[in-house]
Amino acid sequence: MSSDALGPVMVDIGGVELSQDDRWRLCAANTGGVILFARNFASASQLKALVRELHGLRTPSLIVAIDQEGGRVQRLRNGFTPLPAAAQIGAVYDDDAERGIAMAEASGWVMATELVEVGIDVSFAPVLDCAAVMSDVIGDRAFHCKAEGVAHLAEAYMRGMHRAGMPAVGKHFPGHGGVAADSHIELPVDDRIISQIEIADLVPYRRLIDAGLDAVMTAHVCYRHVDPLIPTYSAFWLGEILRDTMGFDGVIFSDDLSMHGASRDGGPAARVQAALSAGCDMALLCNDSEAADVVLTGDELCSAPESVPRLHALVPRARQRRCSATTQSKWDRARELISALSA
């Protein structure tokens, strides 16, 4: 298929090979990306061939993404370096800040280098949430409980990703770490006022935006004293705060719109359009093929005119930063640095 533009929806696929239904969804006009899960991986060679096929389906090629944070959230394991959870790096940082920062950068670099090698464009990382409360869904995925700690470590992690030629995606904007509830299964409610959020959760975003953050993923959390709409559907959060006040000009991804925290706002097409109208450049619709079919067979979705060039620039812009070569000694040192934490 040949097309002038990527669509604004990211979908998933069923297995280690593409089915006819997969190909149809991926070539639909509204599709612009595909997210991979553990079920799509059998071996490095199989994955590399699959990604090559995904990229060859249409022009411009689809954005191929995955969650490869480390710790509990690492989709690719067999044959890939075991990556430490962010909180483990944060614990090292508390004892030795310089070593913790070096570990964060090494983790970002190793993770991204291995994904770039098999052709994957984007890992949805780093997590910028501040672990302010006990939370099963965030927990050790956060680098630290304090905003400055998150900012320092996430900036180093992003620096490692950029060295490998991969864009960094900060999540979950404006911050999921202040609530215990899991937005996969319910709608979390955060009772803080905006001034409290500004001096905590937004600190890492400001730091990373200034350092060249490429993309952001939204949170399905209701900050009811700020806006009754979750940020995914909120022009206030995405337009007034993220774009206008914080000056962010990169890509905005929604979190998965099939999650319960986003599912109260109409059917799948209405949810996707609400996210795009609020300011998301690409909406994720995962693990729900019926919902994807509804969206992809419907009318063309309306997004901001700036969304298409932002999406098209995302991957090439990051790849310009790639190191010219990965020497064995650098690779060995980086893996040695993180191996004790991820064993």
* pLDDT digit string, tens, across residues 34-48: 999 999 999 999 999
109 burial via Cβ count (<10 Å: 0-12, 13-18, 19+)? buried
Q: Is residue 34 part of a domain?
A: no
Q: Is residue 337 part of a domain?
A: no
User: Among residues 131, 38, 134, 122, which one has the least CA distance to residue 89?
Assistant: 131
Flag whether pLDDT at 333 surpasses 90. Answer: no
Q: Is residue 52 part of a domain?
A: no
pTM for this prediction:
0.94
- Give the separation between CA 41 and CA 36, rounded to whole angstroms: 8
Flag whether pLDDT at 262 surpasses 80. Answer: no
CB of 3 within 8 A of CB of 60? yes
pLDDT digits (tens, 9 = 90+) for 179-193: 866 666 678 889 999
Q: Is residue 37 part of a domain?
A: no
Q: Is residue 241 part of a domain?
A: yes
Across 15-42, average pLDDT: 97
CB of 67 within 8 A of CB of 79? no
Q: Is residue 25 part of a domain?
A: no
Q: Is residue 60 part of a domain?
A: no
Q: Is residue 63 part of a domain?
A: no
pLDDT digits (tens, 9 = 90+) for 281-327: 999 999 999 999 999 998 889 888 899 999 999 988 766 666 655 67
Q: Which residues are catalytic?
A: 184, 255
78 burial via Cβ count (<10 Å: 0-12, 13-18, 19+)? exposed
Across 224-243, average pLDDT: 96
Q: In which band, very low, low, confident or very high, does the pLDDT at 231 lie, cut at 50, 70 and 90?
A: very high
The domain spanning residue 281 has which CATH number? 3.20.20.300
CB of 216 within 8 A of CB of 139? no
Domain that holds residue 312: 72-329
CB of 221 within 8 A of CB of 261? yes
The total of structural domains in the chain comes to: 1
- Give the separation between CA 141 and CA 128, rounded to whole angstroms: 9
Flag whether pLDDT at 2 surpasses 60. Answer: no
